[in-house]
Amino acid sequence: MSQATLEIRAISGHAGSVPGAGVKRELEVCKLIDTTTCIGCKACEVACLEWNGLTFSETTFQNSYQTMPETAWNYWNLIKFNEHERDDGSLMLLMRKDQCMHCEEPGCLAACPADGAIVQYANGIVDFQQDRCIGCGYCITGCPFNIPKFSPQARKVFKCTLCADRVTQGLEPACIKSCPTGCLHFGTKAEMKELADHRATQLREHSGFAKAGVYDPSGVGGTHVIYVLHDASDPEVYGGLPADPHVPWTVQLWKKPLKWLGNLAIVAGVAGVFIHYLRYGPKTVPEDLQGGKP
């Protein structure tokens, strides 16, 4: 999507100042997912496919209602189903909508060596710019939520954009629009936090979920996608939601003193590709991938 319509806060692999930084501060957006009212209907999955024009892929039955084991380069929004037995022996069917968390301190962006391949807008959305992506996959190691996915055909990495294209036009993301139960909400971070806290309190006081709470992990500076959980003390049971996500230390290290070194390596890599091109000609893109995005 066009970068012109959104104010940028941070840019991957970029030396020097961020264009327009400090000029204007937009409201920070946030998606609230109330897992306690999600019914796993997958309307959000399909809306995501449709809005983003993602290609159909073949799936197989995996002894679960879950569409596939994890999100894919062409499947950015996945409900994770988990049968969880509580201490009293009663069963819970946990359904958590998994997608990019749009971290305040995005590990992917920190890890990315390509100038402008990942940007963070002032509204909090972390967006990949595939035209700048070099397919190195560093962002994948940088993400504590296992979100960016490499497309072997496009040789680029893809993930949820929080429908940045819709959001700039004043619309909610496609998943929010499609959700029938209203378990998804969209607004400013402050509003969503308040709504989430309110719901968590209700769950504690009226529904017997003493440990209900809000997931907005501080290890990544908070996220622009937050959850209400029945049991905030144990997010791992929701299909491996990390209890205390952090950007890996290797990436943190890389981000600071080692980055210039890495940049050198990248330059060498790009040079290698250029030499490859000179010798063998351009790589052909598979037909179904021609014509832009995934």
Footprint of ligand SF4 on this chain (CB under 6 A)?
Answer: 38-44, 79, 97, 178-179, 181, 183-184
Among 5, 146, 181, 201, binds other proteins (CB under 8 A): 181
Which residue lies nearer to ligand SF4 by CB, 39 or 271? Answer: 39
Report d(CA 29, CA 39) in Å as an integer: 24
Residue 91 in the binding site for other proteins (CB under 8 A): yes
Residue 151 in the binding site for other proteins (CB under 8 A): no
Burial of residue 81 (CB within 10 Å: 0-12, 13-18, 19+) is middle
Count of chain residues binding other proteins (CB under 8 A): 39
Burial of residue 170 (CB within 10 Å: 0-12, 13-18, 19+) is exposed
Among 5, 62, 218, 250, binds other proteins (CB under 8 A): 62
Residue 202 in the binding site for other proteins (CB under 8 A): yes
Segment interacting with other proteins (CB under 8 A) among 11-19, 59-67, 114-122, 236-244: 59-67
Among 180, 221, 272, 286, binds other proteins (CB under 8 A): 180
Joined together, the tokens standing for residue 136 give 């190195």
Q: Any bridge partners for residue 95, and if so which?
A: 81
Which residue lies nearer to ligand SF4 by CB, 134 or 228? Answer: 228
Q: Give how far Cα 28 sits from Cα of 121, 124, 133, 214, 224, Å.
A: 9, 6, 25, 18, 8
58 binding partner (options other proteins, ligand SF4, none; Cβ < 5 to 8 Å by kind): other proteins
Among 31, 97, 185, 199, binds other proteins (CB under 8 A): 199
Q: Which amino acid is at 225?
A: V
Among 92, 140, 258, 266, binds other proteins (CB under 8 A): 92
Burial of residue 130 (CB within 10 Å: 0-12, 13-18, 19+) is middle
* DSSP H/E element including 280: helix 259-280
Minimum Å gap between C-beta 41 and other proteins is: 4
Q: Tell me how crowded residue 219 is: count the other CB atoms within 10 A of its CB.
A: 16
Minimum Å gap between C-beta 271 and ligand SF4 is: 45
Q: Which amino acid is at 250?
A: T
Joined together, the tokens standing for residue 7 give 């104010």
Q: Using CB under 8 A as the criterion, which residues of the chain lie in contact with other proteins when the complex forms?
A: 36-37, 39-43, 45-46, 49-50, 56-65, 67, 83, 85, 90-95, 180-183, 199, 202, 206-208
